[in-house]
Structure 1
């Protein structure tokens, strides 16, 4: 129940929708009930079954205000007595047409308001979930399947919105409809209605048993669907590798198996859901049959004062009682499914970002002196990656990180923008602990070019201006020229408005990397973080971009991870990392002279051109 009330929060301001919904629904129920109440007077008029004496007696009787059928009969009797059966029939038909028209008008507005509430709830919920995901630290995504996150934001949220909005029907529309029908039944025959109420709880008990296990099955179905979506995303992302290794049939087989698992669980859940409806309908028919037998016997033997038309009207109204009862059973089964999805969504919302701004964090306008690591240690779980790192990166220097794979180079670089945080030790910028600096102002001082050329399915212009949405065309062109990208952009189909496709698939590897370099350049950051920035470039483009980067790096601090000698040999300072520690440091010439690990790496052609 706690989860439900938390989900209901996303429907706020719910009164904006609930009040008009209640009003239109009440009017719909009123006119819909009126249609049924007119059945007995209509039958009396058609078959002229009431004598003049009965009509005169009815005219004298005092009617209860809630006895709708009796009050309408008195009106039709008046028409029959004064204008004849033909006019009475005409009057009843006109009232039925007007009543049906009004009931459907209010039914439409009621449904429209409910749909507005669904859309409003979905908007708020999906926005909250996505915003929270975007605020999470990078380490969270390393431990989660992307498909599971996508499933929660798309599929699960969609299911949840129906759970929240259907509650209004469960707690208001259907119960009120049921109560109005029962009141109408009591007005016709108290004895018959009491008899029928004795067997309604039996129907509810049986349906409750059917839907009891739905929530557990729904949870399993959502988890399996998320796993299938994750595998689909992996297959599409690695389609080139799949083709290259002739693994198409293997991938097809694995996806088919995931699809079968999901289908089997869904089939079991839907079977149980769909069982509630025919069971409730069958029980309803049994109840109607029982009423027909019990009530019909009373009418035939004269034990009841009901006329034939009243008894037929009673049966017709009682058959309608099962519709809201059936809707309630369907709604409860849907709510169980929705709450299972809601639990998964709320779990994602409840994940707290491990990296956030302190209450009184500072905003730094610029970078002036140095970046310093002091006794920094970092581990992924039990795996130690960095141990007691003490290095200083002075302003305006080009600093390179080299070493064997797994030595901690990328981890050390990720610590600077606070993508991750050390278990022990401190990192300072201009003497200020970066944990005392706002994340936004810290990252404003940094430019990034990753080893992966990550682009978005958008235009070249928007990809370059990604970190500076208000950038002018002149700024974008200037950044593209520095990255040696301007010429190939002009030769593209639509120039800077050319779409790069999903993950930049329409461009070559070198072109993608040059756009990433242009994206880093456009903000003119004082610190550049380059993780194998030229690895995807051909020899000619690499030389041109490298020259541009060196010009850009003048009077700028650059931290580079590289495996190519051409990238690092002109660095002002080189740190060699191995087995979680800095084992050597110095210039290229100094490290070559030491004849240590750095020299061995070059001799093994780890950095060969």
Structure 2
């Protein structure tokens, strides 16, 4: 990975002209003003000791006014332009990180906590950009002021300057030593803050479970424990920040005493005027202030680099699913999908082994089997949420890995049991992925999904906000919104993953009716535990331990009397109620 500071500098280069150029001009003007102040003070004190020179005092007063007006204007330009460039860098960093995240495959989000991702996009990016606005720009501004005032001090009195400047090398050595510790602890602080984000996200999203099991006190203790860890890290960082300024001031005090002793002796001897000594004394104090800020700036930069490492580390994570350098567009229309000796694993655990399967164009193929057999994983391979480890999957004879991802996924509609709705209006959720569709088309899709009637009863109809994850709607209503979304997309390939498994009988009838309309004339893969929902499938495939163990129609598989028959008997044959021999439905 390219050095972090050079990558951050690349974001600054985008705004070199005119913003950084004007910012540099403002900082140069500010530094020049600071360098001129000691000379004005020298003239003022010398004129003051000569009370007859009233005109000279008045001129000096106007010079002071002019300097401070110029200083005020330059300060405004510096602060505004620095904030502008800083916010632009924050915007660019977040946009680039989000672009990288949008390209990541499903496996990345499975292994990375949502709170950790949010923390890097929001917190780490802000800290990283602070290193530029409060770090790099501060080095230029304070460094320029330091050089200008040092030049003025040397010009006024080079001997006193040598005495005063002996403190600088003594202060630089410990400040450099603090840098590595500061960067390491800043990284730890960002990691701990990321952990807090994960806890909050889990607790708030799982608040129903927390309350159901009476775990509020446990969650409070867990969060407070992590807060205390973060507090301890922050205090170690604060200790380094706090010691920097006083250390330089303490060292500077020795230089001040030495200058005063030497200066008083020279004034008494008549080798220096009071104006010269006063001007140098002012220059010395003007030097120490930017020097102290530069020392503190080093702390800010180290924090920034620690956060930037985390941002770029996530940004540079290569996606598991990549697009072919010369991808092929999938021609719209009915499609035939084939699995050819496909094997897949998560890490070291094989989930699918040597799967051979065909889903003919316009036909319905159902996957059934016990939980954990690999049915959902097999379905996830079709839109390339994951890539096969062995074998290949083709659509109309073309390997999926040769197709443009957007083209492939544009031909696939998906409805799962875990319906995800955005915290937006009903209209926006139905048209998600089909934003160009008209109001009439959205309503037609809702009617076909048996959703229009309940949508019309909502307070604002199609403009009703459904809440986070669609919490304002029932399970059946959320599912019908998802079906309407798939209908509006009108994709020729359809994947239904347990689309009715969590619904009551009434909701299931309404949803199943909508699904029947959705499946018409489409290449459809259905995953189901309820065998009643797949009886009419053209082909039923039984998956067990990642392998296809049998396939055929409902009647054919019952006649064979193997795995499918076992599943069927478990669901439909009556079983004895334990303890009294009563018969209950399976």
Give TM class, smaller chain. over 0.9
Alignment-derived partner of residue 529 in structure 1: 495
* Residue in 2 that maps onto 1:348: 314
Q: Return 270-279 or 471-480, whichever deviates more.
A: 270-279
- Residues 1:200 and 2:131 are matched in the alignment: no
**Structure 2: stretches of 5+ with no match in the other structure:** 574-584
Cα distance between partner residues in 1 of 2:319 and 2:328: 19
Alpha-carbon distance, 1:90 to partner: 2.1
Name the CA distance, whole Å, in 2 between partners of 1:477 and 1:170: 57
Instruction: Please say if residues 34 and 145 of structure 2, whose CA atoms lie closer than 8 Å, have aligned partners that are also in contact.
Output: no
Aligned to 2:199: 231
- Alignment partner of 1:189 is 2:190: no
Residues 251-281 of structure 1 show CA distances to partners (whole Å, capped at 9, x for unaligned) of 1111111111112111111221222122222
Q: Matches of 1:543 and 1:169 in 2, distance apart?
A: 65
Q: Which residue of 2 aligns with 1:80?
A: none
Partner SS, residue 161 of structure 1: helix
| Cα deviation, residue 163, structure 1 | 1.3
Cα shift at 1:245: 1.1
2:425 aligned with 1:459, yes or no? yes
Q: Is the 8 A contact 1:456 1:504 kept in 2?
A: yes
Counterpart position of 1:96: 64
Please tell me whether Structure 1 or Structure 2 has the larger radius of gyration of its CA atoms.
1
Match 2:42 to one of 36, 40, 43: 40
Alpha-carbon distance in structure 2 between the residues aligned to 1:171 and 1:210: 17
1:4 aligns with 2:5: yes
Offset of 1:168 from its aligned partner?
3.7
What SS is found at the alignment partner of 2:166? helix
Paired with 1:284 and 1:493, the residues of 2 have a C-alpha distance of 70
Q: Distance in 2 between matches of 1:606 and 1:170?
A: 75
TM-score (norm 2): 0.94
Aligned: 1:512 with 2:475 = no
Superposition map of 1:88-487 within 5 A: 88-300=56-268, 302=269, 305-487=271-453
Shift of 1:331: 0.8
Q: CA deviation at 1:107?
A: 1.2
1:24 to 22, 26, 29: 26
Q: Distance in 1 between matches of 2:425 and 2:258?
A: 70
Q: Are the counterparts in 1 of residues 540 and 552 from structure 2 also a CA contact under 8 Å? A: yes
Q: Which residue of 553, 575, 580 maps to 2:541?
A: 575
Q: Distance in 2 between matches of 1:289 and 1:606?
A: 97
**1:211–1:273 contact (8 Å) kept in structure 2:** no
> Where do residues 563-602 of structure 1 align in structure 2 (5 Å cutoff)?
563-602=529-568
The separation in 1 between residues aligned to 2:174 and 2:257, in whole angstroms, is 19
- Please list the CA deviations of residues 322-362 of structure 1 after superposition, one character each: whole Å capped at 9, or x if unmatched: 11101110111111111011111111111112222212211
Q: Distance in 1 between matches of 2:381 and 2:495?
A: 11
Decide which moves more: 483-492 or 140-149: 140-149
1:167, distance to aligned residue in structure 2 (A): 4.6
CA contact (8 A) 1:11 1:120 kept: no
Structure 1 consecutive aligned stretches of length 4 or more whose deviation exceeds 6 Å = 606-609
What's the C-alpha RMSD, in Å, of the aligned pairs? 1.8
TM-score with structure 1 length normalisation?
A: 0.91
- List alignment gaps of at least 5 residues for structure 1: 50-83
Distance 1:503 1:332 in 2: 44
CA distance in 2, matches of 1:556, 1:534: 19
CA contact 1:210–1:276 (8 Å) conserved in 2:
no
Residue 70 of structure 1 corresponds to none
Tell me the alpha carbon deviations over residues 174-210 of structure 1, each in whole angstroms, 9 at most, x when there is no partner: 2221111111111221111122222321122233333
Output one character per residue of 1:509-546: Cα deviation in whole Å (capped at 9) or x when no partner.
22111111111111111111111112243322321221
Q: Give distance in 1, aligned partners of 2:559 and 2:226.
A: 57
Partner SS state of residue 216, structure 1: helix
Cα distance in 2 for residues equivalent to 1:133 and 1:184: 52
Question: For the residues of structure 2 that align with 1:606 and 1:172, how far apart are their CA atoms?
Answer: 79
Q: 1:248 to 1:602 in 2, by over 3 A?
A: farther
After superposition, give the CA deviation of every residue in 1:434-456 in whole Å (9 maximum; x if it has no partner). Answer: 11111111111110112211111
Alpha-carbon distance in 1 for matches of 2:30, 2:301? 24
Shift of 1:475: 1.1
Give the number of equivalent residue pairs: 573
Give, in whole Å, the separation in 2 of the partners of 1:490 and 1:521.
19
Q: Deviation per CA, 1:561-581: give whole Å up to 9, x if none.
A: 111133212211111101110
Deviates more, 1:575-584 or 1:2-11: 2-11
| Residue deviations 1:352-404 (CA, integer Å, cap 9, x gap) | 12222212211012243411100000011111110000010111111111111
Q: Is the 8 A contact 1:367 1:430 kept in 2?
A: no
What is the deviation of 1:123?
1.1
Residues 2-59 of structure 1, C-alpha deviations (whole Å, 9 max, x = no match): 211012112232422221111111112222333332112212223327xxxxxxxxxx
